[in-house]
Amino acid sequence: MENWLEKSVFYEIYPQSFYDSNGDGIGDIPGIIEKLDYIQTLGCDAIWLNPCFESPFGDAGYDVSDYMKVATRYGTNEDLEQLFHEVHKRGMHILLDLVPGHTSTSHNWFKKSMEPKQNEFSGRYIWSDNIWTDVAGFPGISGSLRGISQRDGSVATNFFSHQVALNYGFAVRTASWQSAVDSPEALATRQAIKDIMAFWLDKGCDGFRVDMAGSLVKNDPESRETIKLWQDMRAYLDENYPEAVLISEWGEPDKSIKGGFHMDFLLHFGPSHYMDLFRCDHPFFSREGKGDASKFVETYSNNYRLTDGKGLICIPSGNHDMLRLRRYLDQSEMKMAYAFIMSMPGVPFVYYGDEIGMRHLDMVSVEGGYERTGARTPMQWDSEKNYGFSTADASSIYTAQDTACDAPTVSGQMEDSDSLWNEVSKLISVRRVTPQLWASSKIQFVYCEPNRYPLVYLRSNSSGRVLVALNPSSSQVTCPCMYTPKKAIYTLGEAVEFVDGILSMPPESAAYIEV
C-alpha cells in the first residue's frame, strides 16, 4: 500500500471537547466535520479520534457498551461515515480508537455472561468457577467483581471496577478456570474484535489506534502470546483490509512491530523516560537548563536497535491521559519542544489545544478523568461565548474552561505571526517537505550527555542528511560536531555556528541544517 504514514502528522481529537455543533454543551461529530479545514490549515493530515462509541461514560468512553454504535451525544453512525468521507475528500486519513481489552459492565456481552446458564458469552470475560475464588492478583488483572449476579464465580476487571476484562486466554495457566489462548472462548473474543474492525473499515475508517495493545493475554511474561495474537489480527487485515493501519499503545516497539503494528505509541509511564523531556520537576525543554535527556536517548536508542533500525515510535505533544504540556512549559519553551517532536522518527501527534498552549486546569473529576480532566477542557476557538466551543449556557459545558484573561485562542494565535500556533504550523510544513525527517528515515544521536545541553542528532535517508540541534536552555552551549553545514532549513532563535569542529548554540535556539 501507499505508506501515507511516512510524512503524516496526526491531530488527536477528544470528541466531547472539540466543537459543539448543536448547542448541548458537548462536542460532536458534525462539529468535527465543521473544523476539518482548520486541522488541515494547521498542517495535520491525519486524525486520531478518541472513543466515540456508545458508553455509560464512566471512563469518558473507554468503557464501551456497543462497539458498533456511535454514542447518541456525538451523533449517528451515518455522521461518522460522513466524517470519513469529508476527511478523505481533503486527502486526509482517520484512525478510530479501538479498546479491545475490556468493555463496560453495561455491554450486552457482559450481561449475557452473567447468566447462570451456559451461553455463547459465558467465556467472553475472565470468570473463576467459584464465587470464593478471586481472579485478582494474576499478571494483567487489576481487580475483580464478586457477588454481582446469579452466576457462580468472580470476574476480572481492568483499571476501573466497571471495566470488565475480555478473555483472550492466559499464556501461563495456573488454575482450571483460566482459558488457553487457543481455547474456543478466547478465539471467539478475538473474532469479535475482528468483526468490529471490519465493521468500521467497511464504512471507511483507515485503521485503529489500539488502546493498551500489550495487555490482552494475561500472565504473558514475555508477551509472546500477545504478539502472536496481534500477528493473527494483522494476517486477517492483510487478507481482507491490507491498507488498514494499526498504531499501538504498547510502549515496547520491539514487541508491537513484531506483532504487526505499523508504529508504536510512546507511553508516558513505564521505562520510556518521555516524562524527562516535558513533564517533570526539571524538564529538559525548560529554559532553566537543569534537565537531562540522556536516559530518554539511551532507552530510545535501545528500542531502535531492537527493531533493526525501524524505531517507529510515535511521540505526542500530549494526550487525554497526561497533564497538558503547558503545565510544565510556557509557550516559548513549547516551541522548542515541538522542534524536537517534529524532527524525530515515527509519526508526531498533536493533542488538540496543544498547538495554542492551552493550560491544564485543576478541577473536579468529570467522567472518570480525575487529574486528567484538566487536560480535557473544551477547545478555545475564539474570544466569543465559551471560547466559541458551544452556544450552550456555561453551566452545561462538558467541563469548566480557562478563565484567565490571557487564555489562548485559535483565532488570536493565527493572527499573531510570532505565536505558538504559527511555529507549530511552520514546523509541520518543514517536516512535510523534508524527506530526511519522515517517519522511517534514520536517526543517529550525535551529542547527548547527562545533565548537559545541547541535544544533537542526525536524520538521514537517500535524499541526504539533516542535523537537528536543540538548546532549550537559557545559556550559550557548545559541543563537538564534525559535520559541515550546507543550508539551514529551519531556525528558532539566533543562528548557530560551526567553528573548527565545535557547534556553538545561542540560548533557546534550534536548527535543522543540511550537512
Same domain (yes/no): 269, 345: yes
What is the model's pLDDT at position 2?
A: 53
What is the model's pLDDT at position 1?
A: 41
Residue at a domain's end among 413, 432, 451: 432
Same domain (yes/no): 414, 281: yes
Same domain (yes/no): 396, 249: yes
Residue 265 in domain: yes
Same domain (yes/no): 418, 375: yes
Q: Going residue by residue through the chain (515 aa), what tens digit of pLDDT does each one get?
A: 458 999 999 999 999 999 999 999 999 999 999 999 999 999 999 999 999 999 999 999 999 999 999 999 999 999 999 999 999 999 999 999 999 999 999 999 999 999 999 999 999 999 999 999 999 989 999 999 999 999 999 999 999 999 999 999 999 999 999 999 999 999 999 999 999 999 999 999 999 999 999 999 999 999 999 999 999 999 999 999 999 999 999 999 999 999 999 999 877 777 889 999 999 999 999 999 999 999 999 999 999 998 887 778 899 999 999 999 999 999 999 999 999 999 999 999 999 999 999 999 999 999 999 999 999 999 999 999 999 999 999 999 999 999 999 999 999 999 999 999 999 999 999 999 999 999 999 999 999 999 999 999 999 999 999 999 999 999 999 999 999 999 999 999 999 999 999 999 999 999 999 99
Residue at a domain's end among 432, 452, 478: 432
Which residues, in sequence order, are CB contacts of 78 under 8 Å at separation 6+?
none
Residue 21 in domain: yes
Residue 178 in domain: no
d(CA 111, CA 130): 18
Residue at a domain's end among 389, 411, 432: 432
- CB count within 10 Å of CB 77 equals 15
Local structure of 77: helix, strand or coil: helix
Helix axis angle, 331-341 to 420-432, nearest 10°: 10
Residue 149 in domain: yes
CATH of residue 90's domain is 3.20.20.80
Number of domains in the chain: 3
Do β-strands 102-104 and 53-54 pair in parallel, antiparallel, or remain unpaired? unpaired
Same domain (yes/no): 195, 313: yes
Same domain (yes/no): 71, 196: yes
Residue 134 in domain: yes
Residue 45 in domain: yes
**Structural domain span for residue 485:** 442-514
CATH of residue 111's domain is 3.90.400.10
Same domain (yes/no): 191, 163: no
Same domain (yes/no): 416, 464: no
Q: What is the DSSP string of 456-491?
A: EEEEEETTEEEEEEEE-SSS-EEEE--PPP-EEEEE
**Three cell numbers at 365?**
473529576
- Do 343 and 512 form a contact (C-beta atoms < 8 A)? yes
- Do 264 and 223 form a contact (C-beta atoms < 8 A)? no
Same domain (yes/no): 125, 152: yes
Do β-strands 245-249 and 207-210 pair in parallel, antiparallel, or remain unpaired? parallel
Q: What is the dihedral of CA 200, 204, 230, 60, to 10 degrees?
A: -50
What is the model's pLDDT at position 268?
A: 78
**Three cell numbers at 188?**
471467539
Which residues, in sequence order, are CB contacts of 175 under 8 Å at separation 6+?
128, 133
Same domain (yes/no): 91, 128: no
Question: Which CA distances in Å does 458 have to 99, 317, 467?
Answer: 36, 21, 5
CATH of residue 464's domain is 2.60.40.1180
Same domain (yes/no): 282, 389: yes
Same domain (yes/no): 497, 357: no
Cα end-to-end span (Å), the chain: 32
Residue 365 in domain: yes
Residue 174 in domain: no
